[in-house]
């Protein structure tokens, strides 16, 4: 089986400081990988390098493109990479306002990616947008409201709809539940989990919340100081952590 | 079906002065198709640890665990996930489910994941829930709010909905009344009859004697105190 | 003649602007940055158009200025006088006689010829600005032809108004490549953007020049199920009776009386001179107030 994403020795430096270094892994179709670590561990830097938002200083990020097989997205021309960014890839930001156009209606937000890849039939765009709002549990009559009129959880669900509408194969998520109330979080996770399974999505989820990865991720990568200290099956890493840092991380979670 | 070879395990507590606790050494046994093997031994002998290692939940320090052609001790995460999806079922003592998912969906899920259509999966789920005496009015609710015994029965229904070729059972009859205990034991007998290889922990000796073809004493794999 | 250099700007500056114009013509619809100069009039009064006009005018040219179609508004008159004074060129109000026409927000009704240049005054040259505030990002979007956002604007129009409500500065795609803001002309004028004359666009404050060469293909953006429509008031000119011209609506009394008249004053008076009379019109010469 060809991996969907093949990451080889990615490194990113901020001057003398290490953003992330020596990161390698393969992600296979349908796999969901969690990246955990504390703030400053390099997990967001890594995610941004993988998604093409940052240019890594070393290494390769090969993506299994529909037409040409594995291609290094680091050395790929920018138009191609940006095209991937609005077709095969999706990026869910922690803050909905980074991932939404706040002055555009919910329908327009969802429709943008469709129009970006050439959809030119208003009725069809609107039907697809309505369908997707339903799938993320937003009432159809909110389609012409702007996200500024939405709650935090709704904004995040809208962001997900906007990203998934073009049927991407790989979703990058940066703390998708951060800053939400616990009850809202649960609903969002439930939704994400269903969509990931239903659409057979591969996903890379960066979070510091171990409960989130236990629920969503098949496998786990633990980062500290820019390095990967442990990887493995999610429940194995959480239930039988091998590295000192992972043990500390797992044992620090408060029990409820 | 299940072959365990020279398996060992220790825990290193990095945050407690790097204490190394050896818990298992030289474990070796086979379980054939249609056979049920009971793990016995005193509390702390490593029965649960062994079960978790078989399931890939605990990492083996050395040795091999071959189940359906996959060496769980060295396999990639996705290989273990595929094994858990298609070959190896596990009924743990505690039900761990996603909030908001209905009981019927929880039980049907192993079938849906293996490509069965929804109608088939739900029919099987209904049959098992009815057999395990879960009132039908609860089927649409999430089992997170159920009593301990109900949760345990949902867990069992889930473990038996798909016909796994290999099954791990951790105290499947604990906290069950006589009627339901009987249902579980017959489910185990049916699984054996269709050829499933089963490893179980049963504190309930009568149950163990009834379904297990032989027993393995986990104490035999416990490292000697002086090491 | 005055003590100004011909057409006010120094020769180096005019050369710099001409280079930008040529580049603009070579890449239809592409916004060429240029070093916009301070002009003796405020931004918003057509400083971009004036600099472009200054760069293309020759002593033999005949110059015309319209403001929303009219030759006689303050803005049109002052720009016309400006070049009369600084370039000594002939000026006219007759579209057919002009070789360079500077315009604010209209295209003349009369079909322009290959030997004419139309210079537009542009307030905001970036059609994507409405939705994307970053210039870095919009330039990238142009260079990579990422124009989905332009349709988002039209989508928003339809979802809010039931139709594409954008009625002026309606975005177009030039020669199948660059999406361009045609300046705030009414969308009625959009079909006329495909013409024989050279069209130059100058944005003084934003420091951009762009161009549409003769006969370039100019397509107004739309949806399959909401096609572009050039619209005008459903009325004939009350003064000259023209049914094909863009109209201004005037409220003429306190009782709600109204009058529609051609926004192109030269077009209207030419027709009236030829004897056409509208519903509320009187033959030319009798209405001099």
Q: Which residue of A has its CA nearest to B61?
A: A242
Instruction: Compute the distance between CA of residue B128 and CA of residue B156 in angstroms, rounded to an integer.
Output: 9
Which residues of chain A does B100 touch, with a Cβ-Cβ cutoff of 8 Å? 186-187, 190
Same domain, C89 and C209: yes
Same domain, C115 and C243: no
Q: Cβ separation of C160 and A105 shorter than 8 Å?
A: yes
Q: pLDDT tens digits, residue range B17-72?
A: 888 988 999 899 999 999 999 999 888 888 989 999 999 999 999 999 999 889 99
Same domain, B134 and B189: no
Substitution target from C142, C150, C155, C222 for chain A, most A beta carbons within 10 A = C155
Beta strands A69-72 and A89-92, pairing class: unpaired
Same domain, C214 and C247: no
A55 to A6, A47, A71, B114, C85: CA distances (angstroms): 16, 11, 15, 40, 56
Q: Cβ separation of C156 and A120 shorter than 8 Å?
A: no
Final residue of a structural domain among C178, C196, C219: C219
Parent domain of B153:
96-163
- The confidence band for A183, taking pLDDT boundaries of 50, 70 and 90, is confident
* pLDDT on residue A255: 64
Q: Which residue of B has its CA nearest to A244?
A: B14
- The confidence band for C198, taking pLDDT boundaries of 50, 70 and 90, is very high
Tokens at B128, concatenated? 């098992």
Which residues of chain A does C152 touch, with a Cβ-Cβ cutoff of 8 Å? 101, 104, 108, 111-112, 115
- Pick from B11, B59, B99: which is nearest to A190 by CB? B99
B20 located within any domain: no
Same domain, C89 and C118: yes
Which residues of chain C does A101 touch, with a Cβ-Cβ cutoff of 8 Å? 131, 152
B181 Cα distance to chain centroid: 17
Strand C90-91's sheet: what is its strand order? Answer: C32-33, C208-212, C198-203, C117-121, C100-104, C62-67, C90-91
Same domain, C120 and C241: no
Q: pLDDT tens digits, residue range B77-122?
A: 999 999 999 999 999 888 877 777 899 999 999 999 898 999 999 9
- Say yes or no to pLDDT of A212 above 60: yes
Q: pLDDT tens digits, residue range C184-195?
A: 999 999 999 999
C145 located within any domain: no
Using DSSP's 3-state secondary structure scheme, residue C41 falls into coil
Region A175-187: what's the mean pLDDT?
81
Region A165-172: what's the mean pLDDT?
94
User: Which residues numbered 125-144 in A keep a CB inside 8 Å of some CB on B?
Assistant: none
Is some CB atom of chain A closer than 8 A to the CB atom of C223? yes
End-to-end CA distance of chain B: 32
C152 located within any domain: no
Final residue of a structural domain among B163, B182, B205: B163
- Pick from C144, C145, C149: which is nearest to A112 by CB? C149
B47 located within any domain: yes
Same domain, C97 and C190: yes
Report yes or no: A110 and A128 within 8 Å, Cβ to Cβ.
Answer: yes
C182 located within any domain: yes
Tell me the sheet residues that pair with B5. Answer: B64
Same domain, C213 and C97: yes
B15 located within any domain: no
Same domain, C95 and C120: yes
Same domain, B69 and B175: yes
Mean of all residue pLDDT scores within chain C:
93
- C268 has catalytic annotation: yes
* pLDDT on residue B223: 83
C144 located within any domain: no
Tokens 């505690």, residue located? B94
Tokens 């899920």, residue located? B109
Is some CB atom of chain A closer than 8 A to the CB atom of B17? no
C203 located within any domain: yes
Same domain, B154 and B169: no
- Say yes or no to pLDDT of C11 above 90: yes
Mean of all residue pLDDT scores within chain B:
91
- The confidence band for C285, taking pLDDT boundaries of 50, 70 and 90, is low
Region C111-123: what's the mean pLDDT?
97
B19 located within any domain: no
C288 located within any domain: no
C155 located within any domain: no
Split into its structural domains, chain B has a count of 2
- C257 has catalytic annotation: no
Report yes or no: C151 and C223 within 8 Å, Cβ to Cβ.
Answer: yes
Same domain, B159 and B196: no
Out of C24, C48, C202, C240, the active site residue is: C240
Same domain, C239 and C211: no
Same domain, C35 and C87: yes
Q: Which residue of C has its CA nearest to A141?
A: C159
Which residues of chain A does B57 touch, with a Cβ-Cβ cutoff of 8 Å? 233, 235-236, 239-240
- Pick from C151, C160, C222: which is nearest to A115 by CB? C151
Same domain, B102 and B170: no
- Say yes or no to pLDDT of C90 above 60: yes
Same domain, B170 and B225: yes
Report yes or no: B181 and B212 within 8 Å, Cβ to Cβ.
Answer: no
Same domain, B185 and B110: no
Region B149-162: what's the mean pLDDT?
93
**Does A have 3 or more CB contacts under 8 Å with B?**
yes
Q: Cβ separation of A236 and B99 shorter than 8 Å?
A: no
Report yes or no: A112 and A118 within 8 Å, Cβ to Cβ.
Answer: no
- The confidence band for C289, taking pLDDT boundaries of 50, 70 and 90, is very low
Same domain, C34 and C58: yes
To the nearest whole percent, how much of chain C has pLDDT over 90? 86
- The confidence band for B178, taking pLDDT boundaries of 50, 70 and 90, is very high
- Pick from C148, C224, C226: which is nearest to A112 by CB? C148
* pLDDT on residue C160: 93
Same domain, B80 and B182: yes
Is some CB atom of chain A closer than 8 A to the CB atom of C18? no
- Say yes or no to pLDDT of B226 above 60: no
CATH number at residue C239: 2.30.170
- The confidence band for C287, taking pLDDT boundaries of 50, 70 and 90, is low
Final residue of a structural domain among B117, B136, B163: B163
- Say yes or no to pLDDT of C2 above 70: no
Final residue of a structural domain among B134, B163, B192: B163
Is some CB atom of chain A closer than 8 A to the CB atom of B21? no
- Say yes or no to pLDDT of B188 above 90: yes
Q: Cβ separation of C160 and A144 shorter than 8 Å?
A: yes
Same domain, B101 and B203: no
Instruction: Compute the distance between CA of residue A73 and CA of residue A79 in angstroms, rounded to an integer.
Output: 11
Substitution target from A80, A122, A133 for chain C, most C beta carbons within 10 A = A122
Same domain, B36 and B79: yes
* pLDDT on residue C283: 67
Which residues of chain A does C166 touch, with a Cβ-Cβ cutoff of 8 Å? none
Please give the residue that has the higher pLDDT: either A216 or B130. Answer: B130
Same domain, C81 and C114: yes
Region C202-215: what's the mean pLDDT?
97
Split into its structural domains, chain C has a count of 2
Final residue of a structural domain among C192, C219, C246: C219
Q: How far is A192 from chain B (nearest CA, A)?
A: 12
Using DSSP's 3-state secondary structure scheme, residue B8 falls into strand
Report yes or no: A114 and A122 within 8 Å, Cβ to Cβ.
Answer: no
List Cβ neighbours of A177 (8 Å cut-off, separation of 6 or more): A156, A185, A188, A189, A207, A209, A212
Substitution target from C144, C151, C154, C162 for chain A, most A beta carbons within 10 A = C151
Out of C29, C69, C278, C281, the active site residue is: C29
* ipTM of this predicted structure: 0.89
* pLDDT on residue A256: 57
B70 located within any domain: yes
- C256 has catalytic annotation: no
B46 located within any domain: yes
Q: pLDDT tens digits, residue range C21-65?
A: 999 999 999 999 999 999 998 888 899 999 999 999 999 999 999
CATH number at residue B75: 3.40.50.300
Which residues of chain B does A190 touch, with a Cβ-Cβ cutoff of 8 Å? 98-101
Is some CB atom of chain B closer than 8 A to the CB atom of A104? no
Same domain, B150 and B60: no
Q: Cβ separation of B58 and A186 shorter than 8 Å?
A: no
Parent domain of C121:
11-125+169-219
CATH number at residue C47: 3.40.50.11310
- The confidence band for A188, taking pLDDT boundaries of 50, 70 and 90, is confident
C160 located within any domain: no
- Pick from A82, A111, A126: which is nearest to C146 by CB? A82
Same domain, B143 and B190: no
Flag the least confident range among A180-184, C76-80, C111-115, C165-169. Answer: A180-184
User: Which residues numbered 217-256 in A keep a CB inside 8 Å of some CB on B?
Assistant: 218-219, 232-236, 239-240, 242-244, 247-248, 251
Q: How far is A122 from chain C (nearest CA, A)?
A: 6
């Amino acid at each position: 089986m060809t991996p969907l994403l093949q990451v080889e020795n990615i490194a990113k430096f901020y001057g003398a400081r290490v953003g992330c270094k020596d990161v390698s892994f393969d992600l296979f179709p349908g796999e969901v990988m969690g990246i955990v670590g504390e703030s400053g561990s390099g997990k967001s830097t890594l995610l941004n390098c993988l998604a093409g938002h940052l240019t890594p200083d070393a290494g390769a990020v090969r993506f299994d493109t529909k037409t040409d097989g594995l291609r290094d997205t680091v050395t790929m021309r920018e138009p191609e990479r940006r095209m991937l960014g609005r077709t095969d890839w999706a990026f869910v930001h922690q803050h909905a306002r980074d991932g939404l156009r706040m002055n555009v209606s919910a329908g327009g937000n969802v429709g943008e990616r469709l129009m970006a890849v050439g959809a030119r039939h208003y009725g069809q765009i609107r039907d697809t947008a309505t369908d997707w709002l339903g799938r993320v549990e937003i009432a159809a009559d909110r389609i012409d409201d702007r996200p500024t009129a939405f709650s935090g959880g709704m904004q995040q669900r809208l962001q997900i709809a906007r990203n998934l509408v073009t049927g991407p194969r790989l979703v990058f998520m940066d703390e998708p539940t951060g800053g939400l109330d616990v009850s809202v979080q649960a609903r969002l996770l439930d939704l994400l989990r269903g969509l990931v399974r239903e659409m057979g999505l591969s996903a890379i989820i960066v979070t510091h919340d171990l409960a989130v990865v236990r629920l969503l991720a098949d496998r786990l990568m633990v980062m500290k100081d820019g390095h990967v200290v442990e990887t493995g099956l999610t429940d194995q890493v959480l239930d039988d952590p091998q590295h000192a840092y992972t043990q500390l991380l797992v044992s620090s979670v408060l029990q409820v | 079906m299940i072959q365990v070879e020279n398996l060992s395990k220790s825990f290193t507590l990095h945050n407690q002065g790097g204490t190394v606790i050896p818990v298992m050494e030289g474990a070796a046994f086979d379980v054939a198709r249609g056979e049920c093997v009971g793990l016995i031994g005193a509390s702390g002998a490593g029965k649960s640890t062994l079960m978790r290692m078989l399931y890939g939940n605990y990492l083996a320090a050395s040795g091999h665990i071959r189940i359906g052609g996959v060496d769980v001790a060295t396999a990639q995460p996705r290989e273990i996930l595929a094994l858990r999806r298609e070959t190896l079922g596990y009924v743990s003592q505690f039900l761990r489910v996603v909030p908001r998912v209905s009981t019927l969906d929880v039980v049907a899920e192993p079938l849906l994941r293996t490509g069965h259509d929804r109608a088939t999966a739900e029919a099987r789920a209904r049959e098992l829930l009815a057999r395990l005496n879960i009132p039908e009015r609860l089927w649409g609710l999430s089992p997170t709010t159920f009593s301990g015994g109900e949760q345990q029965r949902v867990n069992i229904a889930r473990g038996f909905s798909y016909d796994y070729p290999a099954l791990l059972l951790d105290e499947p009859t604990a906290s069950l009344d006589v009627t339901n205990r009987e249902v579980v034991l017959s489910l185990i007998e049916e699984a054996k009859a269709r050829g499933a290889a089963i490893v179980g922990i049963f504190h309930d000796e009568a149950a163990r004697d009834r379904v297990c073809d032989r027993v393995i004493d986990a104490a035999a794999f416990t490292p000697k105190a002086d090491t | 003649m005055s003590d100004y250099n011909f057409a006010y700007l120094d020769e180096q500056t005019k050369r710099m602007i001409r280079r930008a114009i040529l580049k603009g013509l070579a890449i239809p619809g592409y916004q060429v940055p240029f070093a916009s100069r301070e002009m003796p009039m405020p931004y918003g009064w057509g400083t971009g158009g004036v600099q472009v006009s200054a760069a293309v005018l020759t002593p033999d040219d005949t110059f015309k200025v319209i403001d929303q179609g009219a030759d006689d508004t303050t803005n049109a008159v002052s720009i016309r006088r400006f070049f009369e004074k600084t370039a000594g060129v002939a000026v006219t109000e007759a579209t057919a006689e002009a070789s360079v026409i500077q315009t604010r927000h209209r295209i003349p009704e009369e079909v322009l010829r290959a030997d004419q240049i139309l210079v537009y005054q542009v307030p905001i040259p970036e059609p994507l600005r409405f939705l994307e505030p970053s210039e870095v990002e919009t330039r990238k979007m142009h260079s990579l032809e990422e124009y989905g956002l332009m349709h988002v604007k039209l989508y928003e129009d339809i979802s809010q108004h039931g139709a594409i409500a954008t009625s002026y500065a309606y975005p177009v795609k030039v020669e199948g490549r660059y999406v361009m803001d045609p300046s705030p002309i009414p969308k009625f004028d959009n079909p006329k953007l495909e013409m024989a004359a050279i069209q130059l666009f100058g944005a003084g404050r934003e420091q951009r020049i762009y161009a549409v060469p003769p006969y370039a293909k100019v397509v107004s953006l739309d949806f399959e199920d909401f096609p572009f429509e050039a619209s005008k008031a459903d009325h004939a000119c009350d003064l000259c009776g023209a049914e094909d011209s863009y109209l201004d609506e005037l409220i003429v009394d306190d009782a709600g009386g109204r009058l529609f008249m051609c926004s192109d004053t030269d077009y209207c008076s030419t027709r009236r001179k030829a004897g056409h009379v509208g519903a509320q019109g009187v033959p030319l010469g009798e209405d001099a107030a």
